[in-house]
């Protein structure tokens, strides 16, 4: 570990463990389960905790465990589906020592090669740390209709549960750990803090980003293969399944625009507002099929 022991000791009290309980009937339960464990970080001594959205998506209760093993009830007060971060609020009443909080820093000054470290919650409310260097700050897309214009990838391997803070050499939160990539030189992807910093007041006031226009959502998983995008699966009950998209379909075009990559596919979809019909041309069973999907809204589907 290049991060000093003193620095790690300074940030440790602001890290928390999360345990979410999600009803079986919630659409996310079939993907992520009904009991989820995660990490989080206190960013406001008044009781605001940042984590990754999939840890608390659909949760009817969230237990937040502090470093000293104190367990308090948390409430999901905001979810940013575009970036993938969520805000959990806990009460400071009954906490005689108050809460330690860390400063949040934007990504503008981050650069390739910069040292970072992760402090994550692990089993039995332990904390584990790992460090590394930033390998990129740029576009990123994932298999579930998700992309970021700026994402942070680092050689620091996530030593614990998702939602942990990615920290710089000053102990500032520069990202929230989202995915374990397992790629050479790119072990972890973190969501930068810019969306939170830019939309914090809006998120806390409305629970979501109301100023962001709705965007079409189909509800599929996909991967890129030889300049094509292949549908790996469709979410039960989502617009894609209802319209007849199937696992194994190769997406040739959307609304007449040829599709050669995943980021291109998402950009084409998101030109439409939620509710708009979208025409897919797919290759299936050695023939071309046309499938019209009446798009939905992911925020409403997972509400």
Question: Looking at residue 200, what is its pLDDT?
Answer: 97
Do 40 and 83 share a domain, yes or no? yes
**152 occurs within a structural domain:** yes
User: Would 17 be classed as within a structural domain?
Assistant: yes
Structure tokens at 87: 């805000």
- Do the domain assignments include residue 287? yes
Query: Mind giving me the DSSP string for 252-283?
Result: EEETTEE--SHHHHHHHHTTSPTT-EEEEEEE
- Same domain, yes or no, for 79 and 18? yes
Mean pLDDT of the chain: 95
82 shares a domain with 16: yes
Domain stops at, among 153, 172, 206? 206
Q: Are 141 and 151 in contact (CB under 8 A)?
A: no
Distances (CA, A) of 41 to 118, 119, 131, 245, 298: 11, 9, 17, 39, 26
Residue that the structure tokens 């609304």 belong to: 255
Would you state the pLDDT for residue 97? 74
Confidence of residue 186 (pLDDT cuts 50, 70, 90): confident
pLDDT reading at 277 higher than 60: yes
205, containing H or E segment: helix 194-206
**Pairing assessment for the beta strands 229-234 and 250-254 based on DSSP bridges:** antiparallel
User: Quick one: average pLDDT of 24-38?
Assistant: 95
Whether 121 maps to a domain, the answer reads: yes
CATH number at residue 140: 2.40.10.10
Q: Per-residue pLDDT tens for 67-95?
A: 999 999 999 999 999 999 999 999 988 78
Q: Which pTM was predicted?
A: 0.93
Residue 33 lies in a domain: yes
> Which pLDDT belongs to residue 184?
77
- What mean pLDDT do residues 154-167 have? 97
Q: Is the pLDDT of residue 272 over 80?
A: yes
Whether residues 33 and 86 share a domain: the answer is yes
262 and 192 in a single domain? The answer is: no
Domain that includes residue 296, residue range: 220-301
Residues 125 and 200 in one domain: yes
189 & 138 share domain: yes
Residue 109 placed within a domain: no
Residues in contact with 286: Cβ distance below 8 Å, sequence separation at least 6, in sequence order:
none
Q: What pLDDT shows up at residue 94? A: 77
Domain-located, residue 96: no
* CA–CA distance, 280 with 303 (Å, rounded to integer): 26
Res. 193: pLDDT tops 60: yes
The CATH number of the domain holding residue 252 is 2.30.42.10
Average of pLDDT values for 187-207?
A: 97
Residue 240, token pair as written in the block: 């894609």
Mean pLDDT score, 172-197: 94
Pairing of strands 127-142, 146-154: antiparallel
Evaluate whether residue 95 is within a structural domain: no
Q: What's the pLDDT at 111?
A: 95
Tokens of 204: 């806390």
Q: Where does a domain end: 171, 206, 241?
A: 206
Please, which residues bridge with residue 104 across strands? 173
Domain end: 172, 206, 240, which one?
A: 206
Which of the four pLDDT bands, split at 50, 70 and 90, describes residue 1? Answer: low
Kind and range of the H or E run holding 298: helix 298-301
Report the domain count for the chain: 3
pLDDT tens for each residue of 108-136:
989 999 999 999 999 889 999 999 999 99
């Amino acid at each position: 570990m290049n991060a000093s022991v003193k620095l790690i000791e300074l940030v440790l009290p602001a890290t928390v463990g999360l345990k979410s309980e999600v009803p079986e009937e919630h659409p996310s339960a079939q993907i992520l389960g009904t009991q989820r464990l995660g990490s989080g970080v206190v960013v406001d001594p008044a009781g605001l905790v940042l984590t990754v959205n999939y840890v608390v998506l659909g949760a009817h209760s969230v237990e937040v465990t502090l470093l000293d093993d104190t367990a308090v009830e948390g409430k999901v007060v905001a979810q940013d589906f575009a970036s993938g971060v969520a805000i959990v609020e806990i009460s400071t009443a009954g906490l005689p020592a108050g809460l330690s909080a860390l400063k949040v820093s934007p990504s503008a000054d981050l650069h390739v090669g910069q040292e970072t470290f992760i402090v994550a919650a692990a089993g039995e409310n332990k904390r584990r740390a790992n460090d590394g260097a930033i390998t990129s700050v740029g576009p990123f897309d994932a298999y579930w209709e998700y992309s970021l214009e700026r994402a942070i990838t680092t050689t620091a391997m996530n030593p614990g549960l998702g939602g942990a803070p990615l920290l710089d050499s000053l102990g500032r939160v520069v990202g929230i750990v989202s995915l374990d990539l397992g790629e050479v030189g790119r072990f972890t992807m973190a969501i930068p803090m810019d969306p939170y910093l830019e939309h914090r007041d809006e998120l806390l006031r409305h629970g979501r980003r109301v100023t962001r226009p709705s965007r079409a959502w189909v509800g599929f998983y996909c991967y890129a293969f030889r300049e094509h995008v292949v549908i790996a699966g469709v979410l039960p009950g989502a617009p894609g399944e209802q319209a007849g998209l199937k696992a194994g379909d190769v997406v040739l075009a959307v609304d007449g625009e040829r599709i050669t990559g995943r980021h291109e596919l998402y950009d084409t979809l998101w030109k439409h507002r939620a509710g708009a019909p979208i025409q897919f041309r797919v290759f299936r069973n050695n023939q071309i099929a046309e499938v019209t999907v009446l798009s939905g809204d992911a925020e409403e589907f997972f509400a």
